[in-house]
Structure 1
Amino acid sequence: MIVRVFLPFAIGYFLSFLLRVVNAVIAPDLVAELDLSAADLGLLTSAFFITFALTQLPLGVLLDRYGPRKVESAFLLLTAAGALLFSWAENFPLLILARGLIGLGVSACMMAAFKAYVSWVPKERLALINGCHLAAGGLGAIAGTAPVEFLSEIMGWRGVFVVLAIMSLCISALIYLIIPRRGEIPASESVSKQIRDYGLVFKSSFFWRIMPFTVMSQAAFFSLQALWSGPWLRDVAGFDRDIVGWGLTLIAISVFVGFLVGGILTDWLRRHNISPITVGFYAMFLCVIPQAFLLIEMNSFLMVSIVWMVFGLLGTGGYLIYPGLSQFFPVHLAGRVNTALNSFVFVVAFVGQWAVGAVIELWPVQASGGYAVEGYQAGIVMLLVAQLLGVGWYYLFPLMMKKIPSA
């Protein structure tokens, strides 16, 4: 199971996370070559999230109907096309199109695996296997920092995306050829019935209780970790490009550790009747603290690294909501439950990443060419307020409803 099921899906998620964060490293090159503003950079990078989000609801139907092997291998062909187009693009609209195509292509890399693991792994071990899968994404985040910086110095950012296109093709073939065909009998119910079954998810009071905070927390995590962490280290902390690369690597390592430890810890706490949702909720809540520290002036590389690494460690807690939430629904709805939540997460992530750039742009550019410190502070305050509203909703929701399933 590890070799034929886990590893192919994990490698796919490695690629997905690498592509999600790669712009944090190549952002200076994109800005310099194409004369992008902060809002342009935010919109370009977040185009990944909007196509990702728009795919989620139909993806749930496809996964439950045709199986994760066929769906993910086909979607990764779109990733290859998007990465190749990104390497060729000479103007902003083509880059947007390419980035959106990449987001569309990798949109199945987490959901397809989660769907497969429901079929292959005992229910009580789902949090552990999902955590290990997400840790592979953490390795992708690491690969998207210093290694990408090294490759871009050798072959340029366009050459990096040619390599990523080739990787996408190879991983697509690996998934299609290696994953067993188990559970790929077409669904007996009609597509219209499958779509209507989304109503079972959207009618769930518990879904509406946990969704807002999960969405706000993950949107903040994606906005900062996948793009604005790099420019923040340059403009606010004042680090040069080499130090920024190492700073991003440390953040990525903490993300990897967060995914891995989160899965192991949740598996252990399950034996003490503590659900993944409870663990994920408090991790997201504590993640507000390092974000607040980003509003304070810090000149020490050690202090900056600690704050960002704690952010990366705790920010992964939102992913624990997925296996916890799926346990409230029948197994055959697993794909649709997770994609329903994911659709909200990535729509708001798109808005959040672009909005932070738009807020930053309200302040004049610094003499050094970087963005103003006050702009970053305002953007982070916006994200913090959104998360605190999500926390408030979580605690107030039971007062508005007669019965809420306990986590």
Structure 2
Amino acid sequence: MTDPASARPEVPRGRAVLVWSVALSAYIAAVFHRSSLGVTGVDAAHRFEVSAATLATFSVAQLAVYALMQVPVGVLLDRYGSRRLLITGGALMVAGQLCFALATDVRLAVAGRVLVGLGDAMSFISVLRIVAYWFPGRRNPLLVQLTGTLGQLGAVLGAVPLVALLHHTGWTTAFLTAAGLGAAVLLVAAAAVRDSPHPGTRPATGASPAADRGRLAAAWAHPGTRLGLWTHFVTQFSGTVFALLWGFPFLVQGQGLTPTAAASLLTVMTLAMLLAGPAIAYLCSRYPRRRSVLVFGITGLTAGIWTVLLVWPGPAPGWLLVVLVLILALNGPGSMIGFDYARTFNPVSRIGSATGIVNVGGFVASILLILAVGVVLDLATPSGQEAPALAAYRWAFAVQYVLWAVGAVQVLRWRNAARRHDGGPAASTSRPEAVPARPGGGRFASGSDRWRRRPPGDAAVRRRRRGAPTRTRRRS
């Protein structure tokens, strides 16, 4: 597979938007399948007669497979392309929902979540690869954010509508309906999605394993890729765990809300993501060298609102819970900054490998938090008490501070390493987050040369060649 040449004309916008929209619908379906357990966690605990820690294994099994498969899926994506992986992933998720619908014991239910996690692992990064190939680089930050945020519409379908369907028709009918929805989207994706608009950029299906390992090693070796991984780690886990599993029980059992009110708050959180995504995308495009400011800002806001909530005496007022979900809505769009690092620091020929590496971060953190919350809830809940109390949830969610501390330190570490890698010592004071320039790319290059700024010294060099006086730029 070769990189798209920057000299190629842009693809007709209508055709590109159609392909992306259909691929996006496949990702929306994946988020729906992924989040379907979050709002049915209480029902699942009753159906399978399991404790909080055992219920956590359902989500952990799903997320563990998702995280473990990211790097292998990234390599497969570079080799086989987005279309094949979207079709395969969709089929696996449909099979997983069928298992979950028919399960009457824990083993089959866990098997169903494993299949959902395996299929889900193939969805998001496949859509990001389509964005890289079908759209010019100047639109990439916006399209990546729109993919991540619009994909959360699947969580909206997995909240109030699924809860209503579950309570009116029963467990089996609700999840059979979910499987049918996934099958319909799968058929549309198979008919409409194509890997690339250019014949010369077809996946390298004949590539050798050595070439795959070389792309993966090169992606991992670049500190910008690891900066993306830890960015994804530190920004994503709090909102993901809240939406995926523990938010609904926390609101119902800990805060005393009705199931409908709790599901509505999760829906507000998802809708807020739709507004936050484009705003963060604009800031990333406008200030690409200051993206880590956004990362630390989002992390600080999230830790701050949880601090207020955990020290609040008694159940929190409604307005504070609304503020919580609005700030947690920034977590998903904030984690997309990690993929922007992967895109700007890697050529498109290894974008699948780099994106897969980045996507591991947030889901590893989410797995750790899901397990920790389940264990702490069991330890903090007295024997014989049916549901955890608010105090137990406070202790459980306090585990997040450890993950925030580790992630923030690593983001600082790899941001500094990326400075040195791309600009040398001088760059560490003037270019906090270098956006690598590539030959042949102007201010806004397209294709594999995606959005780039000219190196800061170019203007001064041209003035010296013309004999004009150079200007001294003040470093801030």
Tell me what 2:105 maps to.
Answer: 91
Tell me what 1:282 maps to.
Answer: 297
Aligned partner of 1:117 among 121, 128, 131: 131
Aligned partner of 1:45 among 31, 48, 59: 59
State the shift of 1:276 in Å. Answer: 4.9
One-letter amino acid of the counterpart of residue 18, structure 1: F
Tell me what 1:336 maps to.
Answer: 353
Alignment of 1:109-258 (within 5 A): 109-180=123-194, 182=196, 183-187=201-205, 189-258=207-276
CA 299–383 in structure 1, closer or farther in 2 if over 3 Å, else same: closer
CA 136–220 in structure 1, closer or farther in 2 if over 3 Å, else same: same
CA distance in 1, matches of 2:346, 2:49: 48
Tell me what 1:347 maps to.
Answer: 364
Superimposed CA distance per residue, residues 165-208 of structure 1 (whole angstroms, 9 cap, x where no aligned partner): 11222222211111235343535531321123211122223333
CA distance in 2, matches of 1:277, 1:398: 8
Contact in 2 for aligned 1:286/1:314 (Cα 8 Å): no
One-letter amino acid of the counterpart of residue 403, structure 2: A
CA 63–399 in structure 1, closer or farther in 2 if over 3 Å, else same: closer
Superimposed CA distance per residue, residues 50-103 of structure 1 (whole angstroms, 9 cap, x where no aligned partner): 111122112112211111011111221111111001101111111111101111
Aligned partner of 1:31 among 39, 45, 57: 45
Deviates more, 1:23-32 or 1:290-299: 290-299
CA 171–280 in structure 1, closer or farther in 2 if over 3 Å, else same: farther
Contact in 1 for aligned 2:225/2:341 (Cα 8 Å): no
Relative to its length, the structure with more helix (as a share) is: 1
Name the larger-Rg structure: 2
CA 366–140 in structure 1, closer or farther in 2 if over 3 Å, else same: farther
One-letter amino acid of the counterpart of residue 182, structure 2: S
CA 315–294 in structure 1, closer or farther in 2 if over 3 Å, else same: farther
CA distance in 2, matches of 1:279, 1:2: 29
| Aligned positions, number | 404
Give ranges in structure 2 of 5+ residues lacking alignment.
1-14, 423-431, 434-476
RMSD: 2.4
Deviates more, 1:233-242 or 1:292-301: 292-301
Tell me what 1:80 maps to.
Answer: 94
One-letter amino acid of the counterpart of residue 277, structure 2: F
Give ranges in structure 1 of 5+ residues lacking alignment.
none
Aligned partner of 2:308 among 273, 277, 293: 293
Tell me what 2:401 maps to.
Answer: 384
One-letter amino acid of the counterpart of residue 289, structure 1: G
CA distance in 2, matches of 1:68, 1:237: 43
State the shift of 1:361 in Å. Answer: 0.9
Contact in 2 for aligned 1:59/1:339 (Cα 8 Å): yes
CA distance in 2, matches of 1:402, 1:132: 28
Deviates more, 1:109-118 or 1:136-145: 136-145
Q: TM-score, normalised by structure 1?
A: 0.91
CA 273–53 in structure 1, closer or farther in 2 if over 3 Å, else same: closer
One-letter amino acid of the counterpart of residue 252, structure 1: T
